[in-house]
Amino acid sequence: MNHPFSLLSVSQPKKHIIIAFLLASAVALHAAGTPYSPDWANITPKRAIKHAEPDGDSLVKAVAALKPGDQLVIAAGTYSVERMWDIGVSGTAEAPIWIVAEDGAQVILTRPDDKQNVLNIGQGTPVHHLCLRGVEITGGSHGLRLGQCSEVWIDQCHIHHTGEVCLSANSANTRHLFLTRNHHHHGGGHGEGMYLGANHGQFIMSESVIALNHIHDCKGEQGDGIEVKQGSWGNLIAENDIHDTQYPCITVYGTAGKPVNIIERNLCRRSADSAMQVQGEAIVRNNVLIGGKGSGFASLDHQGKSLNLQVIHNTIINTGDAFKGSSWNAREGMILANNVLYSRDKSAMNFPKGREGATIVGNIVLGDAPKQGTTRGRGLEDFVSLSWDGEKHDATPTAEAPFDHAVLKHLLDTDFTGAKRVGSLSGAVAR
């Protein structure tokens, strides 16, 4: 969908330069999508506006004046906003609103204290069909808080050294969020990289995508990398690189009977808790989990019961328990299939309360485990380059690795890298 650009606040001598810049920006925007982008990702803006005034108040006003189809391109600079800043403008599916950093520019959004969040979207009024891309957010309380949001895309933003969580969506129901290619670290307070949904299903995130993010050094009072709360459903959490967290790199609760969450192709390592914790009502597949001080993967009752949980084709490496299913006994729909589960010092599989009714097949194990549904592995020599602490994390199996025991019924078409899976190797990565 191509629209002519209109130029705002541009003097005639500079007009030819700005035209070239805006056209280049439009081409970059058009090509900026990912496999996880919204349907409207490649719609070209109707008009482009360059913002170069260096103060925060002028930027707040420029954003508030945006109309459907506008693209606001922000010049390099530090924009400090002392008051509460809540973006309340919306686009449409045919004419989204784009708020983007100028190509190659460092655009910093901040505030002088932590009495407010640096930036809010949709706190006062519902917001939809809006993209925020390429800005850096630091300071404040929450870095970015999403309220009544749907079809909101947060892409390639750098959020760090905040007073509380880096990004939250826990103050209203949200739907069709797209949180992609962001870099989050060093949140304060509870310290989560992303806090999505609210406790006990008070607010729910649904049908959203959290993908390709780099999240690390979440060392606050809690410090999950990505936390998806009870009742949030139908979400995809994919291809995130998360490490050095206080709580699990990824924590996902249950959906309260709604469609399951899918957690796939994530790399999680070096957690002071479990590398990943999933209550239930989820498909967990093709993840590489290394070095949790608790378990590599943990599943237990929390704000709901563990049930309908499929853990398939993951590679889980840990000094302690590799897999711990605390609430798997006599629960509906529990599947542990075609995984590589290596524990250096404890159990490959630990079911403290039993495993009656669970499907356990095709797993390669090191450490204590039931004989049924398992085959013995040799050790870290089964991988190209992998260490117990996750410093090395290439989980590609060597030619000699005894992984050719995956059960066809649970064989996935692709692996951790997204490549077509050839043969019947257990684990996240195929050769």
Sign of CA dihedral 193, 199, 200, 205: negative
> Using CB atoms within 10 A of its CB, is residue 144 exposed (0-12), middle (13-18) or buried (19+)?
buried
Q: What is the pLDDT of residues 212-222, one digit of tens each?
A: 999 999 988 99
Mean pLDDT throughout 149-170? 98
> pLDDT grade, residue 32 (50/70/90)?
low
Return the closest-CA partner of residue 225 out of 292, 176, 148, 177: 292
C-alpha distances out from residue 246 to 100, 291, 294, 315, Å:
32, 12, 11, 21
Which tokens is 419 given? Answer: 């490549």
Q: What is the pLDDT of residues 165-188, one digit of tens each?
A: 999 999 999 999 999 999 999 999
Q: CA 251, CA 295: separation in Å to the nearest integer?
A: 13
Mean pLDDT throughout 72-94? 98
Q: CA 383, CA 113: separation in Å to the nearest integer?
A: 48
Query: Where does 21-96 show beta strands of DSSP type E?
Result: 47-51, 70-74, 77-80, 86-87
Mean pLDDT throughout 314-321? 98
pLDDT at 6: 29
pTM: 0.92
Q: What is the pLDDT of residues 217-255, one digit of tens each?
A: 998 899 999 999 999 999 999 999 999 999 999 999 999
Q: Tell whether domain 1-247 is in CATH 3.20.20.150.
A: no
Domain definitions of the chain by residue range: 1-247, 278-431
Which tokens is 150 given? Answer: 């749907």
Q: What is the pLDDT of residues 265-284, one digit of tens each?
A: 999 999 999 999 999 999 99
> pLDDT grade, residue 16 (50/70/90)?
very low
Q: CA 176, CA 233: separation in Å to the nearest integer?
A: 11
Q: CA 217, CA 81: separation in Å to the nearest integer?
A: 26
**Which residues, including other chains, have CB under 8 Å from residue 54's CB and lie 6 or more apart?**
77, 78, 79
Tell me: pLDDT of 88 over 80. Answer: yes
> Using CB atoms within 10 A of its CB, is residue 11 exposed (0-12), middle (13-18) or buried (19+)?
exposed
Q: Are 248 and 219 in contact (CB under 8 A)?
A: no
Q: CA 148, CA 241: separation in Å to the nearest integer?
A: 27
More confident call, 1 vs 351:
351
Number of residues assigned to the chain = 431
Q: What is the pLDDT of residues 62-73, one digit of tens each?
A: 999 999 999 999
133 pairs with which residues across the strands? Answer: 100, 155
